[in-house]
Amino acid sequence: MVRKYKKVLGRARRQNYSASSLERAIKEVTSGRKTLRQAEEQLGVPRNTISSHVRAQKSGTKLKNLGGQSVLSEEEEQCIVHAILVCAKWGFPLQFADLKIIVQDFLNRKGTVIKCFKNNQPGKEWVYSFLGRHPEITSGLAENIKRKRAEVGEDSINQYFDSLADSIRDISPENLINYDETNFCDDPGSSKVLVKRGCRHPERVMDVSKGSTSVMFAVSGSGKLLPPFVVYKAKYLHPTWCEGGPSGTRYAVSASGWFEMCTFEEFNKTIIIPELRDKTGKKAVVGGNLASHLSFEVVRLAKQYQIEFILLPHNSTHLTQPIDLTVFRPVKGTWRGELTQWKMSNRGVVPKSEFPKLLKQTIDKLGPAMEKNIKAGFRAAGLIPRDREAVLKKIPRLSDGDYSHLVSEAVLQKLNDSRSPPHQEETKRGQRVAVEPGKSLRAEDFNRDLRTIIDDEGNEPEPIREVNHSDADDPEPQPAAPRKKRMSVSAVQTKKPNIVPKAPKEREKSGRTPKSVVEPPMSFQEKDFIVVKFLTEEDNRIKYYAGELCNILNENEFEIMFLRKRTGKKEIYFVYPDIPDVETVNKSDIIFKLSLKAKVRGKLVFNDNHKFDLQ
């Protein structure tokens, strides 16, 4: 089927006239200047056709088009058009497949069977014809936004503009600055190429990586682009990384490659303050509400030079950030083009010494368009001139009158609820289990006692430990001693007085396990952290465990909550177990009181745990 058919007059026996000739003939006959026969002879339009259109125009009806008719009536198609526009405005645009299913469902409910449709569902050619009949609808690539951003509503925007009224009233455009950071990645992305028909996976030889470089841009309301501020992911800065960039560009490094508080302070001192300090009148800086962008030094300098910081509402930069609205997209598009050209003639990833040159080429290529884009961003954000409706019109509202009478209130309410659904409680993962390497578990195994799982051969494997999942990023925790195999030394000596415990093993190259510990009499109270000695049944040796005294039963018996030992990257610490490990011990088994050094996020660090080889 030809999608864009252009009629050639004279080839067909019917309708050998243009639409303009028909329109002119109708006007001539309606005004009485010509008869039907005269219009036919002079304009080449059959008089019966002219007569039919004149009668239809007077009665207010519409004639059918010549040839095949559309499956749906004009009113039915118009309803679908409005539904498409409503869904798109509320952030849930329909795809081609959705449109096909809607038409199929409508035809099935109506009881109409279209023979040229497979299973009563239209094909892609019908969709293209539908879009051609309704030019107000077009297709495009959708950009995903988080629900947090979709939840931004009229109240927060109105409150923001109410507070903004005094801050930027009568402010000069060159005294209003907006800043934001972005990253330039090393991947130019995919693009359309020419290949042999039927090739399913076209490939292009080009070295890419996931690396990126952070750049902070600042623009003024007058359309001026301030010097960029580049942050590399590195420990040290080299001279070649700072050559060939845009004039006045500043360069810095950070461990993460992103802007941290110290780098933002440097950006504020070297870019924002020099631009505004000598200007007269009101001065203001508009930026995102990020913790890394505010510090005591930033506030102090702003107060010193009488600069007011204006923070945007949370999750609203896609609506209120001028540089986000109209500047970053053309910059990124130009960057991808420059990056592609560089990679076509070079191997490997872009070195840091080449980044400033590519950044300069990107900015220079935009030229005068950059100033227009900046001014358009401040206008779209409702800052210059101050206009809250410029932002509010981007937010769908139930009270909008352009389509509310065409779509049911239930549909609108459903779309409104979908944009900001109720917050769901986070599903708990449960306790983490440490499985022996090479072994696996089934979903049904977690519904039973993990310590009694029998393998396929009928053998009972080693007990599976239950581990505190609050330290998921820490190295594999040290196994805790099973409670059944841990016995009090005093209890063993009372029952079996002839048993002599073996001395604890010495640690290699260290003397952290003492051969004997002689301490003066100790007094205890609840919440004390102590070291308890236990005897193992397997090898009849003494081992030491750290715990917290949780209850004093009498002068010789205490209830102890035993801790779990963890080995971190820098030091050894202890945590409370998920399942309380409480035992009653004798006072004589307590050999030492630990001194708590720090307690951070449930991690306990002791000053003197090096004296014992604690388990």
Residue 162 DSSP SS3: helix
- The model's confidence at residue 359, banded by pLDDT at 50, 70 and 90, is very high
Average pLDDT over residues 156-183: 88
Alpha helices in 438-517 (DSSP H): 489-495
Q: Residue 139 has what pLDDT?
A: 86
Q: How far apart are CA 168 and CA 285, in angstroms?
A: 10
Pick left, alpha or beta for residue 367 (phi over 0 → left; psi -120 to 50 → alpha; otherwise beta). Answer: left
Poorest-pLDDT segment among 121-135, 313-327, 372-386, 522-536: 522-536
Q: Is residue 579 part of a domain?
A: yes
User: Is the dihedral angle over the CA atoms 150, 155, 157, 159 positive or is it negative?
Assistant: negative
39: which residues sit within 8 A by CB, 6+ positions away?
A: 25, 28, 29, 45, 47, 50
Asked whether residue 290 falls in the same domain as residue 178, the answer is yes
Tokens of 431: 């306790």
348: which residues sit within 8 A by CB, 6+ positions away?
A: 207
Nearest CA to 583 among 450, 461, 465, 486?
Answer: 486
Asked whether residue 46 falls in the same domain as residue 79, the answer is no
**pLDDT by residue (tens digit) across 446-483?**
665 544 444 444 444 444 444 444 444 444 444 444 44
- The model's confidence at residue 178, banded by pLDDT at 50, 70 and 90, is very high
Q: Tell me the percentage of the chain whose pLDDT exceeds 90.
A: 22
Asked whether residue 504 falls in the same domain as residue 438, the answer is no
Asked whether residue 356 falls in the same domain as residue 340, the answer is yes
Q: Residue 269 has what pLDDT?
A: 92
Q: Residue 472 has what pLDDT?
A: 41
Asked whether residue 33 falls in the same domain as residue 158, the answer is no
Rounded to 5°, the CA angle 413-419-423 comes to 105
Model-level pTM?
0.58
Determine how β-strand 465-467 pairs with β-strand 582-586. Answer: unpaired
Q: Is residue 552 part of a domain?
A: yes
Q: What is the DSSP string of 421-470?
A: PPPPPPPP---EEEPPTT----GGGGGS-GGG---TTS---PPPEEE-GG
Determine how β-strand 603-606 pairs with β-strand 284-287. Answer: unpaired
CA–centroid distance for 122 within its chain: 36
**pLDDT by residue (tens digit) across 413-446?**
666 666 666 666 666 666 666 677 777 777 766 6
Fill in the amino acid letter for 131. Answer: L
Question: What phi, psi does 83 have (nearest 5°)?
Answer: -65, -40
- The model's confidence at residue 10, banded by pLDDT at 50, 70 and 90, is low
Asked whether residue 182 falls in the same domain as residue 254, the answer is yes
Strand locations in 255-405 (E): 284-287, 308-311
Q: How far apart are CA 280 and CA 278, in angstroms?
A: 7
Q: Residue 95 has what pLDDT?
A: 87
Q: Residue 229 has what pLDDT?
A: 95
- The model's confidence at residue 224, banded by pLDDT at 50, 70 and 90, is very high
Cβ atoms of 149 and 316 within 8 Å: the answer is yes
Strand locations in 50-191 (E): 176-185
Tokens of 86: 């409503």
Cα–Cα separations (whole angstroms), residue 59 to 19, 399, 530, 589: 21, 36, 100, 107
Q: Tell me the percentage of the chain whose pLDDT exceeds 70.
A: 77
Q: Residue 383 has what pLDDT?
A: 92
Asked whether residue 182 falls in the same domain as residue 312, the answer is yes
Total domains in the chain come to 5
For residue 222, pLDDT over 90 is answered with: yes
pLDDT greater at residue 125 or residue 12: 125
Asked whether residue 47 falls in the same domain as residue 168, the answer is no
For residue 341, pLDDT over 80 is answered with: yes
- The model's confidence at residue 518, banded by pLDDT at 50, 70 and 90, is very low
Question: What phi, psi does 2 have (nearest 5°)?
Answer: -80, 120
Q: Is residue 476 part of a domain?
A: no
Asked whether residue 401 falls in the same domain as residue 387, the answer is no
Q: Residue 14 has what pLDDT?
A: 67
Residue ranges making up the domain that contains 23? 1-67
pLDDT greater at residue 112 or residue 180: 180
Q: Residue 555 has what pLDDT?
A: 84
Cβ atoms of 216 and 181 within 8 Å: the answer is yes
Identity of the highest mean pLDDT range in 8-12, 87-91, 103-107: 103-107
**pLDDT by residue (tens digit) across 55-64?**
888 887 777 6
Q: Is residue 580 part of a domain?
A: yes
* pLDDT, averaged across the chain: 80
- The model's confidence at residue 141, banded by pLDDT at 50, 70 and 90, is confident
The enclosing domain of 263 has a CATH number of 3.30.420.10
Poorest-pLDDT segment among 254-263, 368-377, 425-434, 578-587: 425-434
Cα–Cα separations (whole angstroms), residue 32 to 36, 61, 348, 518: 10, 21, 78, 125
Domain C-terminal end among 67, 89, 110: 67
Q: How far apart are CA 296 and CA 323, in angstroms?
A: 25
Average pLDDT over residues 272-292: 87
Output DSSP code: residue 523: -
Identity of the highest mean pLDDT range in 217-231, 294-308, 540-554: 217-231
Q: How far apart are CA 225 and CA 223, in angstroms?
A: 7
pLDDT greater at residue 484 or residue 229: 229
Determine how β-strand 529-536 pairs with β-strand 564-567. Answer: unpaired
Verify cis geometry, omega within 30 degrees of 0, for the bond prior to 385.
yes
Asked whether residue 58 falls in the same domain as residue 76, the answer is no
Q: Is residue 40 part of a domain?
A: yes
Tokens of 377: 């961003």
Q: Residue 72 has what pLDDT?
A: 83
pLDDT greater at residue 92 or residue 518: 92
Cβ atoms of 116 and 122 within 8 Å: the answer is no
Poorest-pLDDT segment among 215-224, 423-432, 505-514, 575-584: 505-514
Half-sphere exposure of residue 73: CA atoms within 13 angstroms, side-chain side: 6
Asked whether residue 266 falls in the same domain as residue 367, the answer is yes
**pLDDT by residue (tens digit) across 228-278?**
999 999 999 999 999 999 999 999 999 888 888 889 999 999 999 999 988
Kindly state the helix (H) or strand (E) to which residue 320 belongs, with its residue range.
Answer: helix 317-320
Q: Residue 505 has what pLDDT?
A: 47
42: which residues sit within 8 A by CB, 6+ positions away?
A: 34
- The model's confidence at residue 567, banded by pLDDT at 50, 70 and 90, is confident
Q: Is residue 202 part of a domain?
A: no
The CB density around residue 177, as the number of other CB atoms within 10 Å, is 23
Residue carrying the six token digits 């519409």: 62
Q: Is residue 203 part of a domain?
A: no
For residue 287, pLDDT over 50 is answered with: yes
Determine how β-strand 176-185 pairs with β-strand 212-220. Answer: antiparallel
**pLDDT by residue (tens digit) across 102-111?**
888 888 888 8
CA–centroid distance for 495 within its chain: 64
Poorest-pLDDT segment among 190-194, 327-331, 427-431: 427-431
Q: Is residue 316 part of a domain?
A: yes
Q: How far apart are CA 212 and CA 403, in angstroms?
A: 44
Nearest CA to 476 among 484, 463, 486, 467?
Answer: 467
Asked whether residue 49 falls in the same domain as residue 92, the answer is no
